[in-house]
Structure formats: C-alpha cells, structure tokens
Amino acid sequence: MANASGLFTPVVPSGIRSRFSASIGIHRSGFWFSEGVSTRRVLCASTVEGAENISPSQSRVPRLSNRGCKLVGCGSAVPSLQISNDDLAKIVDTSDEWISVRTGIRNRRVLSGKDSLNALAVDAARKALEMAEVDPIDVDLVLLCTSTPEDLFGSAPQIQKALGCKNNPLAYDITAACSGFVLGLVSAACYIRGGGFNNVLVIGADALSRYVDWTDRGTCILFGDAAGAVLVQACDGEEDGLFAFDMHSDGDGQRHLNASIKGNEVDHALGSNGSVLGFSPKISSYSCIQMNGKEVFRFACRAVPQSIESALEKAGLSGSSIDWLLLHQANQRIIDAVASRLEMPSERVISNLCNYGNTSAASIPLALDEAVRSGKVQAGHTIAAAGFGAGLTWGSAIVRWG
C-alpha cells in the first residue's frame, strides 16, 4: 500500500508479523529495510542535510554500507540528416518564425538511409565509456531508455553485444517516454547501492520521427532523433552523486499524449500473420503520436517545478545550491516557465532544443554531454534534472557531475 508521502507499507500476515518485528519501506527518495534484530539498512537513494556541504554522511536515512554512485562519463550521437524549419515549411503550412516562436526549435535530426537507432545508442555509449576510461568488459548492466526500440522485445541486448561486453551483463529496456532517462539514472543507483554493481550504462535513445504524422504541423515540427549515454559508477559514500529524486505517474493523462496500438484491417480473408478477420490476434501497429499540446504544456508547467522542489527538499537543498537546471528538451516555453517558477536565472539553464528538437529519452543526456564537453558543466557541479512526458510520467533527480 502506498501513501501520499511515497512510503510503501506491505501487508504482512499476522502469523509472520508476530514472529518478526520488521519494517519495510519504499520512498520516492529511496528504499529502506530494517529488522528488529539488527540495524541492517539498504538504501537506493540518499538524502542530504545541508546546501553548503553536500555529503551523504549527513543523510537522514541510514544505509547498509558506505557506498554511493557518481556520473563519470557521457556521450551522445545524432543522425547526419538535419531538417530545418524551412524544410518543414515545404511540406506543411508553417514557417520558421511560427515554429521558433512557439517552440524554440529551428532544426532537428532524423534517421535516414542506413541509419539505425541502435547504432546511435552504441556510438553514444562508447563515448561515455571512453570519457569514463571504462572497458566494455567491466560494464555490469546496460539500461536502454527508449520508447522506440528496433525490436519489439527490446534492443538493449543488441547494444550490449555491439559494445563488446564479454561477460553477458544484464541489458534491458526501460519504457517511460521522455521521463525514461531520469528513471534509468535512479534504477542505476539502486543496482549500485543495493546490488553491488560497479559500472552501469544508462542510455537514452529514441527515434520518434518514425511515429510522427508528417502532415500534422502540430506534432511534426517538434520531434527529432538522437541518443545520449551516461556511465554511472560505484564510489565511496562520501563521493555520492545522487542526492535525491522524485518520480510520479498519472495514467489518466494518457489521453493527452499517446501512440496507441491499432489493428490493421485488410481486404482479404486472412491477415498477413494468418489470423482470421474479426478474430484476435491480427497484425497490429502503433498510431502516429497524438498530442493535446495545451494540456501537456499545462501539465509540465505545473508538475515539473513541484517535482524538483520535492527532490530539493528531500536532499535538504535550496534552489540557490543548484548550479544547473537541466530539463527534458520539449519546448522552450516550458523550460522558461519552469526556470521562472524555480527562480533560476537563464544563464544557469541548459538548453540545446534549438538544434535538435524534442528527442524524448535522449534529450537530457544529449544536452548534458554537450554542456560537459563545452566546459560549461564541470566536475563538482550540482544539477537539477527533470524528465516529463507520455504516460503521463514525470520525475526529477538532484545529481552531481563527476
């Protein structure tokens, strides 16, 4: 049973309850377990007590061991084909001014020819490993955050193979649309803190251009394709780089943003997969992206600042202690509205939306990689990152780079 504070309280049979005086809890800021006969604790995210000295030793919640995680490498990759607003104006009723004023987007990259999303993901991952100076053999887990895999059953194992991870580390997909990368970061921290993993690759990669209606000017102007990756590494607890997080879902909002499955009707007696018409299963596909832009805008401007404020509170930090605000790159108006709500000056907001559009789960690691490689984000900087999108899902994490 979950309550409003994020605490998970399991129902324990009375016979077991009488034998063990144990308590188990899962907070949105972490996981803990304690037994009446010991002081053992397991925590999947830490909280921090002061803005001046961000140290996990000040965490309000004890942990099993003095073990933390940190972000030590990043990389990104984009397709070679660039589509400008002027290019789009040739196929739909729009203009560069109309798009840029309403979204902040001027260009986007789109897969074409022999390009593949897997290849982008592998390229981004390799760059992250190179920066972190970690050999693929030493990777313990690959998390591919994507809603557009190249295999229905998931693409992460193919990424693992292409990277040359010889020891068959676990690799799987996380599907949470534009929130996926933040969920991947938190998952990586849990594996490191609670599972003893040492090197976890978190990759955000999406090719939403494959699900865009290129005759709909309301959506085709928004999306691009890309991949970004971060290597999360185990470290001593004193160097912990994930201070707190906050995550949510609201299935009621699915009606505002979705790409739902649909059955394809055919003229002959049998569908192409051999099913009889009118009898499920028959061959299916996903619709193009359907979005109520106004409702999604309202949702993001309301929910994202609340989530970041909640994560900051759990970390014991104030907004002034944040060096950079890094949001999912969906719309410049959303980025500006959230920054204003948090009283974050524009010079401390990371944005590359202009050049790439909305790249879904790739947008945060793509923007982070550019900021790190340009020297903007430096080791020791604290970042408030937040993703939001279809589901509806949204989440934030307070992290330190390096």
**Catalytic residue positions?**
178, 328, 358
Of 126, 325, 139, the closest CA to residue 229 belongs to 126
Residue 30 has which token pair?
């972490």
45: buried, middle or exposed (CB in 10 Å: 19+, 13-18, 0-12)?
A: buried
Dihedral sign for Cα atoms in the order 160, 172, 286, 303: negative
Dihedral sign for Cα atoms in the order 323, 327, 329, 334: negative
Of 330, 137, 297, the closest CA to residue 224 belongs to 330
Residue 187 has which token pair?
């998952």
Under a CB-based contact definition with an 8 Å cutoff, are residues 179 and 387 in contact?
Answer: yes
DSSP-based three-state secondary structure for 282 = coil
CA neighbours closer than 13 Å in the CB half-sphere of residue 246: 21
> How far, CA to CA in Å, does 21 sit from each of 18, 27, 53, 169?
7, 20, 36, 36
Q: Beta partners for 257?
A: 291
Under a CB-based contact definition with an 8 Å cutoff, are residues 54 and 382 in contact?
Answer: yes
Q: Beta partners for 69?
A: 234
